[in-house]
Amino acid sequence: MSPALNVVGRSVPRSDGIGHVTGRTQFATDHSFPGMLHLKIVRSPVHHARIRRIDLSEAERVPGFVCALTHADVPHNVYTILGLIGVEPEEEFVLAEDRARYKGEPIAAIVAESEEAALDAVARVKLDLEELPAVFDVEEALKPGAPIVTHWGNNTFMYEGHPCRRVRFGDVEEAFARADHIVEGVYNTKPIEQAPIETTGCIAVPEANGRYTVYTNTQAVYFSLDNTSIILQIPGNRLHFVGGTVGGGFGGKVDVIVEPLATLAAMKTNRPVKYAYSRSEEMQVSSTRSAWRIYVKDGVMRDGRIIARKVTSYADSGAYSRQTPYALTKHAANASGPYAIPNVSIDAYCVYTNRVPSSAMRGFGITMASFALEVQMDKIAEVAGLDPWSIRFINAYRDGDIKPHRKVVEDATLIETMQAAAALVGQDLPAEFRAMTSARRSEGGA
Amino acid sequence: MGSKIITFVLGGREVEVMVKPMTTLQAVLRYQLGYTAVKEGCRQGGCGSCTVLVEGEPMMSCLLPVEDVAGMHVTTLEAITPADGLDRVQQAFLEHGAFQCGYCTPGMIVVSKALLGHNPRPTRQEIVDAFAGNICRCTGYEPIIAAVEGAARASASKAAQPG
Amino acid sequence: MAKLRGTGMSAVNYPTGMNLGGDPSQALIHATTSGSFVVSLSATDLGQGLRTVIGQIAAEALGVRMEDVVIDTADTDTGPHDMGTFASRATHRVGNAVMAAAQEAREALLDVAEDELEAARSDLEFDGQGNILVRGAPDRSLKVADIAAAAQFKYGKTIAGRGVYMKPRSPVDPETGAMDPDSTEAHACTVAEVEVDTETGEVTVLSIRSAYEVGRQINPALVKGQIVGGAWMGMSHALYETTAPYYPDPDHNPKDFSEYLMPGAYEMPEIDCVVLEYPSSNGPYGVKGVGEMTANAPIPAIVNAIYHATGLRIDELPVTPELILRGLDAKERAASVASAADTTATTGS
């Protein structure tokens, strides 16, 4: 450690610690305002349907009902979280128009004097729906004749003309042909909820100067502000977002779902409006970590060197894109693992199904790749007659190696990290692995 | 059904609230009285973030109609915090990094306080049992258990000091 | 029926930052007349301790005490743009922006200090305790607070700095996948021990022991907090969690914490870790990042440990007791078919 450092590197106490242990930290929905209204959502009760009619008449008669919002009330009824940096497609509606593509999709918003009144009114909205065939499995969705979820005619995100994010490095087929062993595996993981203890929520408050202050637990205040500005077609300078204290995020609070509708309701009513997920909404209709199916095929030499790796991955994006197409690119960049493999082919598909949309979660695109690849490494070790440590040391990447995506490796320390773990658990390593380093191979990295 | 007036003792002070039947203690504390250390993670008894003490016993305030605490002593984290600093349990949570986002923390501290009140030297198993109804999504529980053990040790050494 | 023990390991890398870049973070710093520095940001604290680590980076870079730094974040009327807290980017991106802003603020402070101390800039140094000293002349020093006040009232100057960090957005070659998908990479190696109850199918994790390499640790206690919490989440992902227990069947989705399974305090295994520091070339003080990755390595380590204990290769998450019991049954059937075949073969010869 550099002797020049005063405070970096020290375990100083958390600056927010006293607030947290006394309960004085204010989270977004700890705020309360006189006259505050409550917003609740009418959701699709089925997985896929054409929406013929929304009948609000009975809901409107509930005491405490203030107003209802449908797609016609939303100035720009499209939610494209990464639209700000030019990432498309524009396909998800803030409130469903003619079709609902997943069970739980928002169709209308009810604003009422109390939460109870809002829930009562939601229950009295009558939906006239024509149920449509639905698809729930990533590979079923790609078969001819599968129900089409998207508006562009197939069930994959299109990456510059390709139905998947591709990585091509070397020649995997030639290497498979000369490999001593071929090791194959298919790995399946199910969707996972971020499940923060504080549910996603916000309160939008009209100010005297014509602006709106939005207290929110978003992970990204400007994402939320800019998306709200686009959806409501009002200049960003009429919005003032206050946040920063988040009761657990894990990726789930990168979505911008609650702020646009709460702000729209505040504009319509000129009163503060709270829109916070209930626990069951958080668990059942907020974005999840995708389900994944990952096929891995490796060509391995007798000495344990992996000379070829082919990965075909399918991530279940659910009904809409949100951040999943981006996750597949991150996945494709890392789907060969921290290993030096001279021939790699990766096809990473973002697949649409009639499921709750998936989006960001801790380990975005990589957590499940690490699961698949690291179980696969143990299978390879067994086939090659090696132990799990040896197979990883033999194949570990070093500084100066070229990754399949063509970036030269720097900051590699896999070898040193494995050496430290071995020491921690009392695992004896052969001298050759104890002496190994991540230094460039040309600089004596044996 | 009409509203009625309920009286209870909150942090040593008598309070009177007017509520509709089946209004929860959590709703009264958070939204009528502004005691927002009482958190709202699920409103169905699943997370423990709303835990308060009723007559010294930890209870999930989201499952408790306020009528049921009429005339009783209710203690929230606000009342556990001394005017001149921190309770030993709070200090131990700080020292052991027993929180990250802080949302489950009030419930965890209230439960710890009740446990140590009944059982000043709990075993690890007893601590773990006490947290059976409290969920933390960030810390992996280990620092929370360590904080309770630390608070118990601090109390013991304090008690051992003469006068 | 037995309780079988096994050990498994895994080794992973994790990239820092939004993968294709184009994700700026800004910081603005200004000194008040009392000598405290307000650092204005728009990053959010998800519980990882962002306010604390950014406060440490700001204090270090400014050369002042931690208590002289105020972090004012995530109010869009006062904070400059930030992309948000995700992708293990906050400490790296915001930290770099703060260092740039601090450098500018330091220069502004030194401009005034030169005049006030009547010394050449090259002879001035910060002691990290709120003072600026003249090198080699211990009696000639001034409090940063006094210099800040002099700047305001005597010279009519601001002590302020602006900083931004952005890795430029880069495209992906759609044919080859050539791209620049990270700023730096951190590493982990985890060893897990499990016990599998062949009667109930339950897996008990006995220990999760890991080595992490995260570049510079700004605050080791907070790094350890991420590692312990991540080990729990990894174990939870490996053995318990899902919103679709019978994927692709869309039903049976849990609605609350009594149906969405996660381990509790009771299930916590022994957790141990060591942390290595190989500073990165582009992070503040060599930071890489540790937020997301800590849940990753435990998952395959646990699944590999189950194989070591039982001989069952599980290729599916979460590894439920049902999966284990069905796997053990299938293995037993296969073994009895094989032994029957052996018997037939023996008899036949």
| ipTM of this predicted structure | 0.97
pTM for the model stands at 0.97
Nearest to A137 by CA among C248, C251, C245: C248
C51, pLDDT greater than 60:
yes
Q: How far apart are CA B20 and CA B155, in angstroms?
A: 42
Task: For chain A, give every domain's residue range.
Answer: 28-132+195-284, 165-192+288-406
Inter-chain touch C49–B100, beta carbons under 8 Å: yes
Q: Given CB atoms, is C229 within the 8 Å cutoff of chain B? A: yes
Predicted local distance difference test score (pLDDT) of residue A444:
54
Inter-chain touch C76–A219, beta carbons under 8 Å: no
First-to-last alpha carbon distance for chain A, in angstroms, is: 27
Structurally, what CATH architecture does the domain formed by A165-192+288-406 represent?
2-Layer Sandwich (3.30)
What's the average model confidence in pLDDT over C89-96?
A: 96
Nearest to A272 by CA among A221, A198, A213, A209: A213
What separation in angstroms does the CA of C39 have from each of A162, A211, A292, C46, C236? 45, 25, 41, 18, 37
Q: Catalytic residue at C292?
A: yes
What's the average model confidence in pLDDT over A230-259?
A: 97
Q: Is B25 helix (H, G, I), strand (E, B) or coil?
A: helix
Beta-carbon contacts of A152 under 8 Å, excluding residues fewer than 6 positions away, are A89, A91, A158
Residues of C in contact with B46 (CB under 8 A): 256-258
Q: In what order do the strands lie in the sheet with C25-31?
A: C69-73, C37-41, C25-31, C160-165
Task: For chain C, give every domain's residue range.
Answer: 3-16+182-330, 25-165
Inter-chain touch C47–B101, beta carbons under 8 Å: yes
Inter-chain touch A190–C14, beta carbons under 8 Å: no
For B44, which of A245, A247, A279 is closest by C-beta distance? A279
Domains defined for chain B, CATH in brackets? 4-80 (3.10.20.30), 88-160 (1.10.150.120)
**What CATH fold (topology level) applies to the domain A28-132+195-284?**
Aldehyde Oxidoreductase; domain 3 (3.90.1170)
Beta-carbon contacts of C212 under 8 Å, excluding residues fewer than 6 positions away, are A417, C186, C187, C188, C223, C227, C273, C274, C275, C276, C290, C294
Q: Given CB atoms, is C89 within the 8 Å cutoff of chain A? A: no
Residues of C in contact with A251 (CB under 8 A): 86
Inter-chain touch A26–B36, beta carbons under 8 Å: yes
Q: How far apart are CA A253 and CA A223, in angstroms?
A: 11
Hey, which residues 328-347 in chain C have their CB within 8 Å of chain A?
A: none
A28-132+195-284 and A165-192+288-406 share one fold: no
| Rounded (to 5) percent helix, strand, coil in chain C | 35, 25, 40
* Chain B, nearest residue to A115 by Cα: B27
pLDDT tier for residue C346 given thresholds of 50, 70 and 90: low
Inter-chain touch B43–A278, beta carbons under 8 Å: yes
User: What is the dotted CATH code of the domain comprising C3-16+182-330?
Assistant: 3.30.365.10
In tens, the pLDDT along A313-343 reads: 999 999 999 999 999 999 999 999 999 999 9
Q: Which of B19, B20, B40 to mutate to test the interface with A (most CBs of A within 10 A)?
A: B40
In tens, the pLDDT along A367-424 reads: 999 999 999 999 999 999 999 999 999 999 999 999 999 999 999 999 999 999 999 9
For C225, which of B46, B131, B143 is closest by C-beta distance? B143
Inter-chain touch C317–A160, beta carbons under 8 Å: no
Residues of A in contact with C78 (CB under 8 A): none
Q: Given CB atoms, is C267 within the 8 Å cutoff of chain A? A: no
For A248, which of B77, B101, B109 is closest by C-beta distance? B101
* Chain C, nearest residue to A166 by Cα: C177
Q: A322's torsion region: left (phi>0), alpha (psi -120 to 50) or beta?
A: left
Hey, which residues 22-51 in chain C have their CB within 8 Å of chain B?
A: 46-49
Residues of A in contact with B29 (CB under 8 A): none
My answer on whether omega of the bond before A89 falls inside 30° of 0, hence cis, is: yes
In tens, the pLDDT along B22-79 reads: 999 999 999 999 999 999 999 999 999 999 999 999 999 999 999 999 999 999 999 9
* Phi and psi angles of residue C262, each rounded to the nearest 5 degrees, phi first: -145, 150
User: What is the dotted CATH code of the domain comprising C25-165?
Assistant: 3.30.365.10
Q: How far apart are CA C203 and CA B140, in angstroms?
A: 18
Q: In what order do the strands lie in the sheet with A239-242?
A: A65-69, A106-112, A37-43, A273-276, A201-206, A212-216, A239-242
Beta-carbon contacts of A420 under 8 Å, excluding residues fewer than 6 positions away, are C189, C211, C213, C274, C276
